[in-house]
């Protein structure tokens, strides 16, 4: 199989085998064709959103779409992650002291700088000089400004990925009963989960509204998240070692991962329940993250 230099760079960046491109060409061709066909040189860039639980392959798909579309259209593409817009460690510690201790941990709605994310997307759409914010999970904080890149000029495609991208709030009645030991032991009064739910209801809709089309990578169930998240963590460690970067305290053990994913369970299960019916592009995944089915529910 002959591949381009761009495709080889993509595989190297993501530590992927050549076989990934075969599967990608099979499953993502309609999606790429849709993006390419909808591109108009005199219009604003398309903003494509990707939702999927931890370890489902969101960042890989975002990189793939940006790589392929850039090559086919000869345009600049940008991939953004909601993970890069987490509040700083200092801001989260302040939130933890003011509202609830669990908010010191990054991840759930309410721990993002939503305004910064919106400003960044709008700046890219306008072709303005934009600083691409990044979050360094190995230190659990924003990457230093001096290490960040900027981009300027016309963008053809912006891909935004995030585990809670497009999520809906739950009813207050559903919040009453704890769904795991984290909620039962650390959020007995429900303050934390109510705060997260209010953030989804009030703060995030304007951000999600910036997305033109929503892709969902649908996991079989929440209990698959642990293995996927563990693999993701191990992959990050290998990447850091390859780059000669010492792993910081932000790298998690298996026990820490088990606790960490408990933070996401409520919102993730709600997403798995209600989002498949409204996604523009739905990719159902198997236990090993292989795609088993593709459909376009929103088009029905």
Closest by CA position to 188, among listed 92, 264, 98, 101 = 101
Structure confidence at residue 116 (pLDDT): 98
Structure confidence at residue 55 (pLDDT): 84
- Integer Cα distance of 70 and 115 in angstroms: 28
pTM of the complete model: 0.91
Listed in order, strand segments (DSSP E) in 22-165 are 46-52, 77-81, 130-131, 135-136, 141-142, 150-151, 157-162
95: CB partners within 8 A, 6+ apart: 87, 103, 104, 110, 111
Phi then psi for 162, rounded to 5 degrees? -175, 145
Structure confidence at residue 157 (pLDDT): 97
Domains of the chain and any CATH numbers: 25-165+176-299 (3.40.50.300)
Which helix (H) or strand (E) element contains residue 107? none
Structure tokens belonging to residue 289:
């993250």
Instruction: Look at strands 213-218 and 157-162 and give their pairing.
Output: unpaired
- Integer Cα distance of 196 and 65 in angstroms: 31
- Integer Cα distance of 115 and 233 in angstroms: 28
Structure confidence at residue 237 (pLDDT): 67
72: CB partners within 8 A, 6+ apart: 32, 36
Per-residue pLDDT for the chain (300 aa), expressed as one digit of tens each? 688 999 999 999 998 999 999 999 999 999 999 999 988 777 789 999 999 998 899 999 999 999 999 999 999 999 999 999 999 999 999 999 999 999 999 999 999 999 999 999 999 999 999 999 999 988 999 999 899 999 999 999 999 999 999 999 999 999 999 999 999 999 999 999 999 999 999 999 999 999 999 999 999 999 898 888 788 777 776 766 777 666 555 567 888 888 889 999 999 999 999 999 999 999 999 998 899 999 999 987
Structure tokens belonging to residue 288:
């090993």
Structure tokens belonging to residue 165:
């991208």
């Amino acid at each position: 199989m002959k591949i381009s230099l761009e495709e080889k760079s993509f595989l190297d960046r993501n530590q992927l085998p050549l076989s990934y491109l075969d599967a990608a060409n099979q499953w993502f061709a309609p999606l790429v064709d849709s993006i390419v066909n909808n591109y108009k040189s005199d219009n604003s860039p398309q903003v494509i959103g990707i939702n999927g639980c931890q370890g489902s392959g969101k960042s890989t798909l975002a990189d793939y779409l940006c790589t392929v579309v850039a090559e086919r259209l000869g345009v600049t593409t940008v991939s953004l992650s909601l993970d890069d817009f987490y509040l700083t460690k200092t801001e989260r510690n302040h939130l933890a002291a003011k509202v609830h201790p669990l908010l010191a941990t990054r991840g759930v709605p309410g721990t993002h700088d939503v305004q910064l994310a919106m400003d960044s997307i709008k700046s890219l759409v306008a072709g303005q000089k934009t600083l691409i914010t990044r979050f360094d999970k190995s230190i659990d904080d924003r990457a230093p400004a001096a290490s960040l890149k900027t981009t300027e000029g016309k963008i053809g495609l912006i891909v935004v990925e995030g585990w809670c991208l497009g999520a809906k709030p739950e009813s207050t009645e559903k919040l009453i009963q704890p769904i795991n030991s984290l909620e039962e032991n650390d959020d007995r009064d429900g303050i934390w989960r109510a705060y997260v739910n209010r953030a989804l209801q009030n703060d995030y809709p304007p951000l999600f509204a910036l997305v033109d089309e929503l892709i969902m990578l649908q996991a079989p169930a929440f209990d698959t998240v642990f293995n996927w998240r563990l693999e993701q963590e191990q992959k990050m460690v290998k990447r850091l070692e390859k780059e000669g970067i010492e792993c910081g305290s932000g790298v998690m053990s298996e026990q820490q991962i088990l606790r960490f994913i408990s933070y996401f369970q409520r919102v993730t299960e709600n997403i798995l329940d209600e989002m498949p019916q409204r996604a523009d592009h739905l990719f159902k995944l198997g236990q090993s993250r292989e795609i088993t089915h593709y459909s376009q529910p929103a088009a029905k």
